[in-house]
């Protein structure tokens, strides 16, 4: 399925709106489901979400394993590892993937390499302001 890059409120070095590969998601929780947006981030090793999503989804992070990630500027970010079941809009299959939850205000949802890039074949066509997603055989056979 072909998607358009989404314009954001930030600008690039040329003064033009930054466009990003963003998809609509349904996060499936024990308490409730959340319809939200996620950035497909080829630079993220693991899917990361703000800790507020865990609270709404009913995920208890008090006994979750901690893991530190190093981001831009080599600053360390402490995360809490759990898993989340989600569905990308326009696809019928749900996927369950490890998520590193952080209370960093600069992280909303980053869809990273671990699992997300294995569940979906992703083709970025920045020059056309589009990207393509299709289910990988791993998900088709679930």
CATH code of the domain in which 108 resides: 2.40.70.10
| Nearest alpha-carbon partner for 38 in 70, 78, 90, 86 | 86
32 Cβ neighbours under 8 A, 6+ residues apart: 56, 57, 58
State phi, psi for 44 to the nearest 5 degrees: -95, 125
DSSP letter, residue 5: P
Question: Which mean pLDDT values do the consecutive 10-residue runs of the chain (142 residues) have?
Answer: 91 86 95 94 93 95 90 80 96 93 89 92 95 85 56
Whether 5 is covered by a domain: the verdict is no
Please name which of 125, 94, 100, 113 lies closest in space to residue 25, comparing C-alpha atoms.
94
Q: Would you list the DSSP string of 71-96?
A: -GGG-EEEEEEEEEEEEETT----EE
**Structural domain contains residue 16:** no
Domain of residue 94 covers: 21-140
Residue 70 lies in a domain: yes
Look at residue 14 and tell me if it is in a domain. no
Q: Would 7 be classed as within a structural domain?
A: no
In-domain check, residue 11: no
Q: Is 60 within the bounds of a domain?
A: yes
For residues 84 and 106, give the distance between their C-alpha atoms in angstroms, rounded to a whole number.
Answer: 20
Domain count, the chain: 1
The β-bridge partners of 82 are: 99
Say what the pTM is.
Answer: 0.90
What pLDDT is recorded for position 69? 85
Distance CA 68, CA 120 (A): 26
pLDDT at 14: 84
136 part of a folded domain: yes
């Amino acid at each position: 399925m072909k998607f358009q890059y989404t314009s954001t409120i930030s600008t690039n070095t040329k003064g033009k709106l930054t466009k990003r590969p963003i998809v609509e998601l349904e996060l499936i929780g024990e308490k409730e489901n959340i319809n939200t947006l996620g950035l497909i981030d080829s630079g993220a090793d693991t899917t990361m979400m703000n800790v507020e999503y865990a609270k709404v989804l009913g995920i208890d992070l008090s006994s979750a394993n901690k893991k530190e990630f190093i981001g831009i500027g080599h600053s360390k970010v402490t995360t809490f590892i759990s898993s989340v079941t989600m569905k990308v809009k326009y696809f019928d299959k749900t996927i369950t993937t490890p998520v590193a939850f952080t209370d960093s205000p600069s992280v909303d949802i980053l869809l990273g390499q671990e699992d997300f890039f294995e569940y979906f074949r992703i083709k970025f066509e920045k020059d056309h302001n589009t990207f393509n997603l299709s289910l990988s055989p791993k998900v088709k056979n679930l």
